[in-house]
Amino acid sequence: MKAIKIEGGKTLSGSIRVSGAKNSAVALIPAAILASDKVTICNVPDITDTDALAEILTFLGAKVNRASESIVIDPTSIENKEIPSEISKKLRASYYFMGALLGKYKKVSMYFPGGCSIGKRPINLHLKGFESLGAKVTIEKDKYLVEADELKGCPIYLDIASVGATINIMLAAVLAKGETIIDNAAKEPEIVNVATFLNSMGARITGAGTSKIRIKGVPKLNGCFHEVIPDRIEAGTYAIIGALCGSYLKIDNVIPKHLESLLLKLEEMGVDSEVGEDYIVLNKPSSYKAVSIKTMVYPGFPTDLQQPFTVLLTQAKGTSSVEETIFENRFMHVPYLNKMGANIVTVGNKASIKGPTPLVGCEVEATDLRAGAALVIAALIAEGETIITNVEHILRGYEEIVEKLTNVGAKIEIIEID
């Protein structure tokens, strides 16, 4: 089994280049099905999640060519067949094949195992959107059959500003007859990236990035060339590392606007960052002020940075607080941070962090992607050696994390343990 070994206490300097956004790429790859010709997407991160989605496309008969940072998808030879559990269960984002196949062929049959470590994560809003467009949904255990004689645009209100449901309904609606309006839509930058992709194929989507998205159905979508936006969560993770152990640590290929909530919180803690047009430079300050964060939908503080940020709060002077409002079980990193010496108490969806507490390396386990990232950060500032097991969680969402950190002075390697 693979694990990550880190010798803590190093000062990191130099520059780290941020890769393409995982949470955009995992929607763009299935969305390529909607095109009637070849699609090229560049700046695709080389992570296991994008590999798994390319595997599903290949299973369906698409021609997929992966070259370093780009992927060329020819969907013209796709055969719309049932997607089995063994390939769809590898990642939750496989649910985007529902919207894409329904939108293109008016039918999709796939296994979609629900649940996830950070919460129940139902897809009721996705399915409600499909039904509003005229589809019939049949669920037998984990098998979803969604089919429609015709997809007709309509107004759809989302009870929760769900990222996945917003994108999946867009995918199902772009070739429907008439106009669809998604109200209370999620506003994340990844949604804008997907809408821009679909529009460059010939779709007619307006309002992406606001809470009201209009989709005028078109008869056909063409091939196109598109670029994945930089990953704001990867960038934020490295910015937090810079705040904790950086000396002129430069995070390159960033859209600073996408990180506004994090940068404001870092400033509130006394961390100065130099913000350029497409980069951020961070230096570790002499001390950190305690602050409180509450995770919100974009542009609020992102839930995906809550776990990495909690490590920073263990070094703040005083009592900090975290309120997680998006997922019901996103504190699984806490017992491991406490094992390393942190002083965190959680009650329900709130955590209270007393600091500063020196951290000491030991063996810990990655329970989910961002908890794993938090443990990498803790290990980088801990005294001595840390071993992080279940490293697959981390490699799902952080391209070349070992190489990127090694290049700026971290002592980190992937080892085999029995």
- The catalytic site residues sit at 116
Does position 44 bind ligand EPZ by CB under 6 A?
A: no
- Tokens in use for 238? 């490295």
The answer to whether residues 217 and 153 touch, using CB atoms and an 8 Å cutoff, is yes
* Euclidean distance between CA atoms 80 and 104, whole angstroms: 10
Q: Please give the DSSP secondary-structure letter assigned to residue 141.
A: T
Q: State which residue, 150 or 328, has the beta carbon closest to ligand EPZ.
A: 328
Does position 243 bind ligand EPZ by CB under 6 A?
A: no
Does position 306 bind ligand EPZ by CB under 6 A?
A: no
Q: Applying CB under 6 A, which part among 56-64, 106-114, 163-171, 336-344 lies near ligand EPZ?
A: 163-171
Measured on CA atoms in the order 295, 301, 307, 311, is the torsion positive or negative? negative
Does position 90 bind ligand EPZ by CB under 6 A?
A: no
* Euclidean distance between CA atoms 364 and 200, whole angstroms: 45
Pairing of strands 39-42, 70-74: antiparallel
Q: State which residue, 250 or 370, has the beta carbon closest to ligand EPZ.
A: 370
Does position 367 bind ligand EPZ by CB under 6 A?
A: no
* Euclidean distance between CA atoms 172 and 181, whole angstroms: 12
Pick out residues in 100-159 that bind ligand EPZ (CB under 6 A). 119-126
Q: State which residue, 122 or 318, has the beta carbon closest to ligand EPZ.
A: 122
Which of 165, 340, 387, 391 is in the footprint of ligand EPZ by CB under 6 A?
Answer: 165
Q: State which residue, 5 or 303, has the beta carbon closest to ligand EPZ.
A: 303
C-beta of 407: minimal distance to ligand EPZ in Å? 23
Q: Alpha-carbon Rg of the chain, whole angstroms? A: 21
Does position 382 bind ligand EPZ by CB under 6 A?
A: no
**Backbone angles phi and psi of 412, in degrees to 5:** -140, 140
Q: Please give the DSSP secondary-structure letter assigned to residue 383.
A: B
Contacts of 284 (CB under 8 A, 6+ apart): 11, 242, 243, 244, 245, 246, 247
- Residue whose CB is nearest to ligand EPZ in the complex, by number: 164
Does position 160 bind ligand EPZ by CB under 6 A?
A: yes
* Euclidean distance between CA atoms 138 and 159, whole angstroms: 22
Q: What DSSP assignment string belongs to 280-312?
A: EEE---S--B--EEEB-STTSB-GGGHHHHHHH
C-beta of 317: minimal distance to ligand EPZ in Å? 29
Does position 315 bind ligand EPZ by CB under 6 A?
A: no
Q: Applying CB under 6 A, which part among 10-18, 21-29, 203-211, 278-286 lies near ligand EPZ?
A: 21-29
Pick out residues in 388-407 that bind ligand EPZ (CB under 6 A). 397
The answer to whether residues 366 and 346 touch, using CB atoms and an 8 Å cutoff, is no
Q: What DSSP assignment string belongs to 342-366?
A: -EEEEETTEEEEEE----B--EEE-
Does position 164 bind ligand EPZ by CB under 6 A?
A: yes
Which of 19, 94, 253, 303 is in the footprint of ligand EPZ by CB under 6 A?
Answer: 303
Q: Applying CB under 6 A, which part among 81-89, 97-105, 137-145, 162-170 lies near ligand EPZ?
A: 162-170
Measured on CA atoms in the order 380, 384, 390, 392, is the torsion positive or negative? positive
Which of 111, 112, 279, 327 is in the footprint of ligand EPZ by CB under 6 A?
Answer: 327
C-beta of 314: minimal distance to ligand EPZ in Å? 21
Q: State which residue, 337 or 369, has the beta carbon closest to ligand EPZ.
A: 369
Does position 163 bind ligand EPZ by CB under 6 A?
A: yes
C-beta of 219: minimal distance to ligand EPZ in Å? 29
Q: State which residue, 27 or 281, has the beta carbon closest to ligand EPZ.
A: 27
C-beta of 403: minimal distance to ligand EPZ in Å? 20
* Euclidean distance between CA atoms 148 and 152, whole angstroms: 10
Does position 258 bind ligand EPZ by CB under 6 A?
A: no
